[in-house]
Chain A
Amino acid sequence: MSAQAEFDKIAVGEVINGRSFTVTTETIQDFGDASLDYNPLHFDPDWMQKNDFGGTQFGTVIMHGMQNFSLITRTLTDWLVPRGGYHRRLETRWIKPVKLGDTIMPEATISRKNLTDGGNWAQFDVVVKNQDGEPVATGQALAEFRDTIPG
């Protein structure tokens, strides 16, 4: 099916649910080993206990903020790739730190479809919520439905 036909099938309001993710010292280590981000914020509980970041006391190690980013990316690309959608943009903000033992869940909602001179574009509102339903990260994403891959 052409990307145009796939684009015509998607509907504003459609919700894409990602997989839930529970933060452990192992997931933090894996993310550090992948991203090369070894900031002690994520690895050194003693330092986190005693450090007051200009008024924000975390008390414990926190998950890499970019873990949210990568979970949102996976949610979008796993849905887009089989539909001829190409992930074009992701904009994120962190709302709340995520700590060891928290379980988070990414979710994307198609918010708008746009036609440009030569393209079919879909906008998404994205949110990552914790086990209490509180948003820990929010953002917007943009995908282009096209038959060829740039490059």
Chain B
Amino acid sequence: MNVMGEEFETDFWKEVSDRATWDMIVPGDLRETRPVTLTKQIIQDFARKVGEDNPLYFDEAYAKSTAYGGIVAPPSIHLLLMFACTTSRDWMRSPGTINAGQNWFYNVPIRPGDTIEMRGTALDKFIKKDRLFAVHENLFTNQHGQVVCTGRGQTIRPV
């Protein structure tokens, strides 16, 4: 079972015709997003499934003894947020989307109970050889309006 539970649609072929193709992606347009609350359960399920076993993510007494002051999420939690905060019509779900590399900056750590909002756009699109590329930019903030992390990546779009 995925870490968000049964409501998350895992069949990426559903709604495939509702998703933007490369031609329809407009750089600057906001992607449709929704806020997601990350419980301790979600954070720790995520951590276990990606093989994170640092006590900082699991052991409250240890985490309290560090500068973090309590359990936090692994920085890579944005992997989950990119899909959790978007809808099943989002073009990042299109089958055949190939990730070509990513850059992420981490600001404030995510803590259990945080509600995260995503602002996502395409920043650019281009053709290289015979491949169609889109550059995307994501900004994640917490319920205090603090930036938790920002990322930019490139995907090769399915033809």
Contact = CB atoms under 8 A, between A and B. Distances in A.
B108 A39 contact: no
B109 A151 contact: yes
A32 B109 contact: no
A77 B99 contact: no
Nearest to A52: B159
A148 to B, nearest CB: 6
B102 A69 contact: yes
B159 A87 contact: no
A39 B101 contact: no
A36 B2 contact: yes
Given A69-B76, A151-B108, A33 B56 contact: no
Given A40-B12, A89-B104, A34 B79 contact: yes
B54 interface: yes
By secondary structure, the A interface counts as: mixed
A69 B79 contact: yes
B101 A93 contact: yes
Contacts of A55: 130
A129 B146 CA distance: 36
Given A54-B131, A84-B67, A35 B106 contact: no
A111 interface: no
Given A53-B96, A78-B54, A150-B107, A39 B12 contact: yes
A34 B84 contact: no
A65 B99 contact: yes
A90 B150 CA distance: 11
By secondary structure, the B interface counts as: loop
Interface string B70-111: 000011100110111000000001011111111111111100
A76 to B, nearest CB: 9
A5 interface: no
Contacts of B56: 77, 81
A131 interface: no
A74 interface: yes
Contacts of B93: 38-39
A74 B52 contact: yes
Interface string A70-97: 1101100110010010111111111000
A116 B45 CA distance: 37
A70 B82 CA distance: 14
Interface string A83-123: 01011111111100000000000000000000000000000
Interface string B35-70: 000000000011001111010100000000011110
Interface centre among B10, B66, B104 (most CB of A within 10 A): B104
6 contacts: A35-B83, A66-B76, A73-B75, A74-B50, A78-B54, A89-B103
